[in-house]
Structure 1
Amino acid sequence: AQIAEAVRLHQRVTRKQAMARAVELLHLVAIPQPERRVNQYPHEFSGGMRQRAVIAMAVANDPDLLIADEPTTALDVTVQAQILAVLRSLQERLGLGLVLITHDLGVVAGHADRVAVVYSGRVVEQAGVSELFADPRHPYTRGLIASIPNLEESRERLFSIDGSPPALGRLPGGCAFYPRCIYAAARCRTEDPPLHDVGGRFSACHFATTLPPFHSAVLAAASLDSGDVAP
Structure 2
Amino acid sequence: MIRQQHMTVVSQKEIAHRIFELTVEGDLVNDMAAPGQFVHVRVADSYEPLLRRPISVASYDKEKRQFTMIYRAEGRGTNLLAEKKPGDGLDVLGPLGNGFPVEEAAKKAYLIGGGIGVPPLYELSKALNERGIETVHILGFESKDAVFYEAEFKSLGDTHIATVDGSHGTQGFVTHILNELPKDFDAYFSCGPTAMLEAVQWAYPEKKGFLSYEQRMGCGIGACFACVCRTTKSETDYIKVCSDGPVFQAGVVIS
TM-score range (shorter-chain normalised) is under 0.3
TM-score between the two structures when normalised by the length of structure 1: 0.25
More helix by percentage: 1
Structure of greater relative contact order (alpha carbons < 8 Å, 6+ residues apart): 2
Which structure has more strand as a fraction of its residues?
2
TM-score, normalization: structure 2?
Answer: 0.23
Computing the radius of gyration from Cα coordinates, the structure with the larger value is 1
